[in-house]
Amino acid sequence: IAPAMGSHGTLVTIGGRGFDASTTCRFGSTEVEAAVVSAEELVCRAPVGNGTVAIGLLVDEVEISSRHSYTYVEPTLLGSLSPNTGPTTGGTLVTIHGLRLADDASCKFGNTSVPARWVSAEQIECAAPPHAKGAVDVTVAGEVLRFQYAAPLVPRAAYPSSGPAGGGTVVAIEGSGFAFSPRLKCRFGWTEVPATFVSEAEVRCAAPPGDAGPRALAVSGNGQDFVDVPAGFAYEAAPVVHGVAPPLGFAGTLVTLTGAGLGGVSACLFGDASTPATVVSDTEVRCAAPAGAGSLAVRASVNRV
């Protein structure tokens, strides 16, 4: 018989010879209806019981004993799975939490079974197989949870594509396939940060601090499966402005900023107004003051924001 242990309601397959429509199963003293698959195989649903009981058959009211037994165990209970969504291409590592998870458990996504990695009696992990878009049942030991397959993310570009090493640059990632989720994330190098959903074509995230230089940039819809953004993101050494001359003027006045790390500056910011910068050296840039009024803070920017 298989399986030889389980809870009530478990479908038990019995192999033998001479089975027909008159055959029924007996678990201890309890008779249950049998579904005859063939003359050599039938299936019975375990009735309510406990402990270990003998398995027998009744054929035309004649009792047939066997050396096999069935042991009742507490049923597996499922609590949750995480993440609960992933791309149709598969590969998402799904963590399932529950009680009394067997060390030989498997996961069934729709009609496809995959092996599980046993972590503990309360946790197993399964890699989601490829599947068409939509929701599917995830079955473990007869218990069911739901998993949503979504179209893979297709990020195309990030704007701006660079920012100061101190972080804080709000980066817009454009592409397709984005959906609202509290698990939306961006990854700058190996540092993950939350992402904000804007539309199906855009998400935004604030760059964390990083060392000057290029970094891989990736985005994830479920906090686990990351897709690289073409061209990535570059950290620029943060410019430091020590002086502004002249300190006052009118629109069009050529203003010189002096300081350190100005070689990568692309714009000067007069308050919130941006104007192109001309780099003279790593310690000097020049900008034409935009139209404005009053006293404004002047800053140097590597990405115009």
pLDDT of residue 94: 97
pLDDT band at 57 (very low <50, low <70, confident <90, very high): very high
Half-sphere exposure of 285 (CA within 13 A, CB side): 29
Q: What percent of the chain has pLDDT over 70?
A: 100
Angle at 35 between CA 142 and CA 76, to 5 degrees: 15
pLDDT of residue 24: 93
The stretch 189-200 carries a mean pLDDT of: 97
pLDDT above 90 for 95 = yes
The 10s digit of each residue's pLDDT in 10-37 is 899 999 888 888 899 999 999 999 999 9
Angle at 177 between CA 173 and CA 181, to 5 degrees: 80
pLDDT band at 59 (very low <50, low <70, confident <90, very high): confident
Residue 65 in tokens: 């004993």
C-alpha pair distances (Å), 60 with each of 1, 22, 66? 21, 6, 17
pTM of this structure: 0.68
pLDDT above 90 for 45 = yes
The stretch 256-267 carries a mean pLDDT of: 90
